[in-house]
Amino acid sequence: MSAAQNTDLSNASLYINRELSLLEFNRRVLALAADSSAPLLERMRFLTISCNNMDEFFEIRASGIKQQFEAGISTAGPDGMSPRELLGAISVSARSLIAEQYRVFNEVLTPELTAKGIRVLRRADWTPEQSAWVRAFFLREVYPLLTPIGLDPSHPFPNVLNKILNFVVMMDGKDAFARKSGTAVVQAPRLVPRLIRLPAEFASGPHDFVLLSAVIHANIGELFPGMEVKGCYQFRVTRNSDLWVEEEEVEDLLDAVRFELPRRHYGAAVRLEVAENCPPETARFLLDHFHLRDEDLYQVNGPVNLNRLMALYDLVDRPDLKFPAFKAGFDKRAQPGADLFEAVRGGDILLHHPYQSFSPVLEFVRAAAKDPAVVAIKGTLYRTGAHSEIVDALIDAARAGKEVTAVVELRARFDEAANIDLATRLKTAGAHVVYGVVGYKTHAKMMLVVRREEGALRRYVHLGTGNYHTGTARAYTDLSLLTCNEQICDDAHHLFRQLTGLGTAPKLQKLLHSPFTLNDEILARINEQAEHARQGKPARIRAKMNALADPGVIKALYLASIAGVKIQLIVRGVCCLRPGIAGLSENITVRSILGRFLEHSRVYSFGPNDDILYAASADWMSRNLFRRVETCFPILDEALRARVIEECLDLPLSDNTQAWQLSPDGNWLRCQPGDQAARHCQEVLAGKLGG
């Protein structure tokens, strides 16, 4: 890549493909599974996370590219790859990644687990006594749930559900009706655990397990009496799971999404996984049935669907093989039992999760629900979990007669069913429930409380970079701001009015919001720093986010780098920008932090002294900037600004153990301490802010 090419910002070689970058992120997650410095069961968990991520990649990303190809779309993105070219590249990259997953499982983790007394026993390793117990378990717990389908004209191939374990069975012989199809399909029951603990009297220790797939395989002949089973092979189909709802054509979005949800199980097939020992002719039979190509076939060296081994983490009680228990800390003004309204009146409160507890946010909503002085609560709900304490508090508030408004995003991917349920519960309790704006997902995280104080109404606001989900708040790094700043509260009020009513976009005083002002402000701030650099003034941009993919923002960053702006980016996942190219992006560095907690907070800083500082719900992606409702809020308090700068920018940029650096060629290299002292930003923050 020459310097001459670098000046042409339309050159496709300057942009990394988003899907391939996402696969590289998953490769970094997988690398954590092979990292011997992490506890063993945590490494197993990282492996299963990488497997689950691959499922979602095929369900959503690869399936979308396949749809484009099948529709005859040949338009290329900024990276210049057509859908046909991209499918080929995905196949190569995904194939090598999945092979590495099984190598890590077979050659690294399994031997280490065995050495620690944790065994997932293969059929070949069962003792006669274990085999007898497995057969008895099969006949008692599994056999009654199985429905073998022998394929013939009156028994067509069953409708195989998305990601469900199945077996294709080849056999000889005639049955009672003189049928001789030779092929049957058996679906593993969904209600039986995939990982089964052996009883103590049949095990060599407390942590011996067998897989349900092995239990069925070992006893498959029981399903076909009098027939000779010649082969039994696991397979699993991944299907397109993106819901399609024509929002402008439906009368009730909730009913439309509810109707569409069951189809997720039966979308178009995009990937076929089979056991490594599956014969070519059997794999071809399955590919043809599911209308898949050779590049969609993945033969794996081990159990199909490794992410089912996630259960091992909870089934094995070995604290020595897990991260030490972590106790979140509390802000000194948001201790349990504190009057949060009084505390917020004394100044803004910033919480950095999960190092600091999410419970003050819960208590903020609970207190509002119980407080007779509170007259109204308004909130956005994107992902809350199936059993949400936030939703319970809003229901209590509605039942107490308060004006409760919930903007529920029904299309939060894979949370649609939970969100339909909570929306129904809220409506039943008397809350006003709306589903945002047609054509735009409501991804903003904000809660507005209106309270009567001394004869007048006063407003309090919570703004966050993450969801109102107590589970992810313990695992994701995010920021929460509690404030009663009048301008911010007024802005939040106008945003809720916009989401629930009609009218022109409000002019906000402090907040930025997509799809109206956020993109323009980001570009303006980047260009402002570029102009400072051209004038010989100090200039700097630092930003932390989950993904950087918007072409307009990337071009602006390239131009700012050319002008001499020092740009430091912390991008956890997808990054389509190429840093370090002479004459173009030599002033840009990109790093990714991966560790115990998932880095989720978004922070933007502009100026040599972090003069302008924002936290946001939005990444720098086109969907966040143009097709979602997002909020971006300034950190106004000087002490809190200093905290955000240190905790979200300075520390991650100094990490030399859990950080990865992006090279111009698109490869990620893990940072090493070398002769320096090891610096681990998550450990530092846990020690500083934890309880």
Q: Point out the residues that are catalytic.
A: 443
User: Which residues, listed in sequence order, are joined to residue 185 by a DSSP beta bridge?
Assistant: 149, 168
- Cβ-contact 392, 484 below 8 angstroms: no
Q: In what order do the strands lie in the sheet with 149-150?
A: 149-150, 183-187, 166-172, 228-239, 269-275, 297-300
Helix (H, G, I), strand (E, B) or coil at 691: coil
292 Cβ contact partners less than 8 Å away, ≥ 6 residues apart: 269, 270, 271, 272
Tell me the C-alpha distance between 351 and 366, whole Å.
Answer: 17
Question: Rg of the chain over CA atoms, in angstroms?
Answer: 27
**From CA 561, how far away is CA 463, in angstroms rounded?**
32
- To the nearest 10°, report the CA torsion of 118, 120, 123, 127: 20
The token duo for 544 is 């932390």
Going by their DSSP bridges, the two strands 456-464 and 207-211 should be labelled as: unpaired
C-alpha triplet 544, 548, 554: angle, nearest 5°: 110
Q: Read out DSSP for 376-398?
A: EEEEEES---SS-HHHHHHHHHH
| Residue owning tokens 């945003």 | 495
d(CA 315, CA 209): 10
Query: E strands of 428-510, at which residues?
Result: 432-434, 441-442, 446-453, 456-464, 476-483
Judge whether 384 and 390 are in contact, CB under 8 Å: yes
Using alpha carbons, select from 229, 238, 224 the residue that is nearest to residue 304.
238
- Closest by CA to 475, choosing from 640, 320, 601, is 601
- The alpha carbon torsion through 281, 285, 286, 289 (nearest 10 deg) reads 170
630: which 2 tokens?
Answer: 């997002």
Give the span between the Cα atoms of 91 and 111, in whole angstroms: 29
CA-nearest of 288, 273, 296, 275 to 233 is: 275
Instruction: Quote the distance between the C-alpha of residue 156 and its chain's center.
Output: 37
Determine contact, residues 661/668, Cβ cutoff 8 Å. yes
For residue 239, the cross-strand partners are 269
Phi-psi region of 430 (alpha: psi -120 to 50; beta: other; left: phi over 0): left
d(CA 603, CA 635): 10
C-alpha 151: how far from chain center: 39
The one-letter amino acid code at 95 reads R
